[in-house]
């Protein structure tokens, strides 16, 4: 069964450092999501891509976070500089094109970020 790949699985960094997360969606899935999940809360959507275009990044803290999906396949989420409050699980998900689906999302294993 095809899966969403994410790396690294765990990342420990010091505040003010830069971090980057990578996601490879399921082949053929045009829609890609980055979520942040703080312990005990539901996932919070940071950015949604349709192919290489951003559909929604209204919750992305753009002063320190950036996301790209240059060729419409894999994606990178970057934080610079990292702050203590960024410690969370970062989840990537993908789904079939919006026009032909109800957005059933398939999630990767996530990256656990700890900022010291």
Partner 1 sequence: LAKTTQPISMDSYEGQEVNITCSHNNIATNDYITWYQQFPSQGPRFIIQGYKTKVTNEVASLFIPADRKSSTLSLPRVSLSDTAVYYCLVLPYGGAGNNRKLIWGLGTSLAVNP
Q: Does 94 bind partner 1 (CB under 8 A)?
A: no
Nearer to partner 1, 29 or 65 (CB): 29
Distance from C-alpha of 32 to C-alpha of 80, rounded to nearest angstrom: 21
Q: What is the DSSP letter of 96?
A: S
State residue 100 phi and psi, 5-degree precision.
-125, 20
Residue 55 binds to partner 1 (criterion: CB under 8 A): yes
If the CB atoms of residues 8 and 17 are measured against partner 1, the closer one turns out to be: 8
Which residue, 21 or 33, has its beta carbon nearer to partner 1?
33
Residue 25, interface with partner 1 (CB under 8 A)? no
Helix%, strand%, coil% for the chain, nearest 5 = 5, 45, 45
Tokens of residue 29, six digits:
């899935």
Considering only 33, 36, 79, 86, the residue that binds partner 1 (CB under 8 A) is 33
Could you tell me which of 26, 27, 23 has the C-alpha nearest to residue 35? Answer: 23
Binding residues for partner 1 (CB under 8 A): 4, 31, 33, 35, 40-45, 48, 50, 55-56, 58, 89, 91, 93, 95, 98-99, 101-110, 112
């Amino acid at each position: 069964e095809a899966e969403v790949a994410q790396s690294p699985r765990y990342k420990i960094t010091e505040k003010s450092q830069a971090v980057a997360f990578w996601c490879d969606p399921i082949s053929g899935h045009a829609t890609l999501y980055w979520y942040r999940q703080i312990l005990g809360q539901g996932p919070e959507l940071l950015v949604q891509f349709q192919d290489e275009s951003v559909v929604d990044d209204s919750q992305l803290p753009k002063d320190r976070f950036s996301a790209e999906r240059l060729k419409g396949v894999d994606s990178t989420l970057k934080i610079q500089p990292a702050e203590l409050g960024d410690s969370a699980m970062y989840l990537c998900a993908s789904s079939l094109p919006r026009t032909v689906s109800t957005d059933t999302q398939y999630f990767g294993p996530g990256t656990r970020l700890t900022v010291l």
